[in-house]
Amino acid sequence: MTLPGNRPRWLTFDCYGTLIQWDEGLLAAMDRILSAKGGDIDQPAFIATYDRHEHALEEERPHRSFGDVSAIALERAMGEFGLAFTPDDAEILTSSIGRMPPFPEVVETLGRLKAAGFRLAIISNTDDAIIAGNVAQLGGHVDRVITAEQAGAYKPTTQIFHHAWKELGIGMNDLVHICASPHLDLAAARRLGFRTVWVDRGTGRKPLSDYSADAVVPDLEKVPGVLAAAGWI
């Protein structure tokens, strides 16, 4: 697949699952929380329940910080499983997020993209304080970080993307967005029409039935090749 249009000035990225090992880190954090509760808990079912509450809370108004969203979602999920919740459980989760590492190929690839003349930004459903620990692990290659906290809205709403583009001083055609989440980032692209590269890391996340990314890669290392095929590197 060849990316359409002119060479973008900016490459924007989803953070968790695209650059940062979200699934692996979430499993480890939930294992730490749930193991302290005792009993035989179906961890995948628990995480699915947590995700359901998290996404529902992100759609509610007024806007809540991601710290509050994750704490409330965790408390509600634990309630469904008959587990006692404490504020320490929420602290384990949020502190674990900021320590989640990048995928092995990410830092080197970001360096290659920066050296090729692209500016790099993250657009993420999180808070500034939480993502700071992740960004610190990205080799200093990221020029801007736009969060749901700054925008007052979460993906897949159009609000966070319009806020990001305003902050970056660009139009929709001045970027390509690189992401791993079909139901957050690609859903927004379907609505707004910006160019996308889907990083399908084989997690089982399904593509949208009525939308196809402009390019699909298995990891970030393949992104420079896609940009080169478009004549941009």
Task: Give the DSSP letter string of 43-79.
Answer: HHHHHHHHHHHHHHHHHSSS---HHHHHHHHHHHHHH
- Give the per-residue pLDDT at 2: 80
The rounded distance, in Å, linking the Cα atoms of 230 and 210 is 24
- Give the per-residue pLDDT at 92: 97
- Give the per-residue pLDDT at 1: 67
Main-chain phi, psi angles of 197, to 5 degrees: -120, 120
- Give the per-residue pLDDT at 21: 98
Residue 64 CB burial class (10 angstroms; 0-12, 13-18, ≥19)? middle
The rounded distance, in Å, linking the Cα atoms of 175 and 156 is 17
Q: Amino acid identity of 158?
A: T
* Predicted TM-score (pTM) above 0.85: yes
The whole-number mean pLDDT for each consecutive block of 10 residues of the chain, a chain of 233 residues, reads 92 98 96 89 94 97 97 97 96 97 98 98 98 98 98 97 98 97 97 98 93 97 97 96
The rounded distance, in Å, linking the Cα atoms of 69 and 202 is 27
Written as six digits, the tokens of 127 are: 């808070």
